Chains A and B, each alone.
Chain A
C-alpha cells in the first residue's frame, strides 16, 4: 500500500473541515 500524499495543503485543510477528518501533515526532506 502506498500513501497518496496530497500537496495542495490549502485544499486539504478545506476538505478536512468539510469531511470532519483529521490531517497528517508531513514536513519532509525525503528523496522524492
Chain B
C-alpha cells in the first residue's frame, strides 16, 4: 500500500510519518503498543498534535481503501475539534473520491452530521437520510441515518 505514490503523497502532505517496527524496534513497539493499545500489525494511528489518537486503521488495505480511511480520519479529527466545515470537507472528499471504499458510507453519514452541527439546520440530516436511499442502502450507516427521514 505504501509504494503507491498517491498514498505516499497523502501521508507526506498531511502528517509527520513515524514507524515502530515489531522486529527492528522491539522496545519501542512494546512501549508505544502498550500506550496506544496497538498489538497487531499493521496498525496505523492518526494522532493529533497533542499525541491523542484520532483514528485507527487495523489490518492491510489496498491503496484506495487506505486513502479513504486516512481522509476519513482527518474528518474525524476535525469533527472532534469542532471544526465542522473542515470535517464536512474531509468526509465529502471520501464519498466523492473513493465512493467504492468501505469508508464511504460512514463518511456520508458524518458529512451530514457535520453540516448539521455547522448550520443547525435539520434538513442536513434529512438530506443525508435521503442520500442513503440511493447509495449504501444496505450499510449500517444507512440504518443509523434512517431515523432522520423527513
Interface, chain A (partner B; CB < 8 A) = 1-7, 9, 12-13, 15-17, 19-30, 32
Contact = CB atoms under 8 A, between A and B. Distances in A.
Interface in B68-122: 70, 74, 77
Contacts of B48: 22
Contact of A26 (B8, B12, B14, B44): B44
A3 to B, nearest CB: 5
Interface of B: 2, 5, 8-9, 11-12, 14-25, 28-29, 32-33, 36, 38, 40-51, 54, 70, 74, 77
A24 B41 contact: no
A7 B22 CA distance: 12
